[in-house]
Structure 1
Amino acid sequence: MSEVFYKQFDMARSRFIKRVQDLNPEIVEIQPKGFNNNIHWQVGHVLTVAEQFFFGYPTKSTNIPANYKEFFGGGTKPQDWTDDVPSYSVLVKQLEEQFERVTKIPPSQLAEKLEKPFLGCDTFGELAAFGIFHEAMHLGQIQTLARLIQA
């Protein structure tokens, strides 16, 4: 189980990082009509939610600032941002740093039961696998936004 998780996470995060690094920086702040967010938000959301799933952010993790949940948590949107939102390039760098931390999670942790079920997951490994799904889903959103903006 653990070998598959690390391989899948590596595949998902590596592709995610490559894609967001390759984007034209001029399009990441554009929010097309009919969409609740932009690419900048998508990147911050993936970082923040992964930090929640893998490291118990914001109560058990100080690897990213506590206010990221206000910018990128579920239900947030760029229209509500203040001037102190982290830049796109900072978020991409933090994704890379987070990637390294996730790969150091011990395989034994994947079998650990969660204190209470979350999103239908009973173990840390199930939640981690859901995190990979979540990341891939948002990569699809980023690709859709980029194609729409560039069309």
Structure 2
Amino acid sequence: MSELMYTQFNTTRNMLLKKISGLDPQSIDVQPIGFNNTIHWHIGHILTVTEQFLFGFPDNSDNIPEEYKNLFGPGSKPADWPDNVPSVEKLEQQLKEQLERLNSIPAKKFDEKLPQPFLGNETVGELAVMAAFHEANHLGRIHSMEKVIKNQ
């Protein structure tokens, strides 16, 4: 089972990284009609939520700055951002580094029970599956937003 987990993380993350490298820089901070956020926000959100789910951010992880929780966490939005938001290039590099850490999670870790169920998940492995699903979901939103922005 854990091999499939690594495969899913690598497949989805590499598709995300490929998408980021091909983005029109003019589109990343556009919030199209009907969408709550920007492509820039989605990229940071994927990084932040994966860090929360699998590495205990912000309490147990210092791999990304604590301010990311306010910038990219659930309920956040670009309209509330200060002037010093990390660039997409910086987020892209952090996503690559995070993938290395994801691939370093020992397979046995996925069998561990969570201290308490989280979003209906009871083990680290179940939460990892949720993280992979979450990333793929937001990648789909990025694809959709890109198409809408091109056609506006």
TM-score interval (norm. to shorter): over 0.9
Q: CA deviation at 1:28?
A: 0.2
Cross-structure match for 1:93: 93
Indicate the SS of the match to 2:74. coil
> How far 1:34 moved relative to its partner?
2.3
Look up the equivalent residue of 1:105 and give its one-letter code.
I
Give the aligned residue type for 2:82. Answer: T
Gaps in structure 1 of 5+ consecutive residues: none
Q: Which residue in the other structure is 1:138 paired with?
A: 138
- Indicate whether 1:68 and 2:65 are aligned: no
After TM superposition, the structure 1 = structure 2 runs for residues 1-151 of structure 1, keeping only pairs within 5 Å, are 1-151=1-151
Secondary structure of the equivalent of 1:25? coil
Unaligned 5+ runs, structure 2: none
Question: Counterparts of 1:62 and 1:84 in 2: how far apart (Å)?
Answer: 19
Runs of 4+ in 1 over 4 A off after TM superposition: none
Whole-angstrom CA distance in 2 between matches of 1:142 and 1:91: 15
Amino acid at match of 1:23: L
Aligned-residue sequence identity (percent) comes to 51
Distance in 1 between residues matched to 2:53 and 2:92, nearest whole Å: 18
TM-score w.r.t. the length of structure 2 is 0.98
How many residue pairs align between the two structures? Answer: 151
Instruction: Provide the rounded CA distance (Å) in 1 between the counterparts of 2:10 and 2:35.
Output: 29
For 2:2, the aligned partner's letter is S
Per-residue deviation, residues 47-92 of structure 1 (Å, max 9, x unmatched): 0000001100000000000000000000100000001211111111
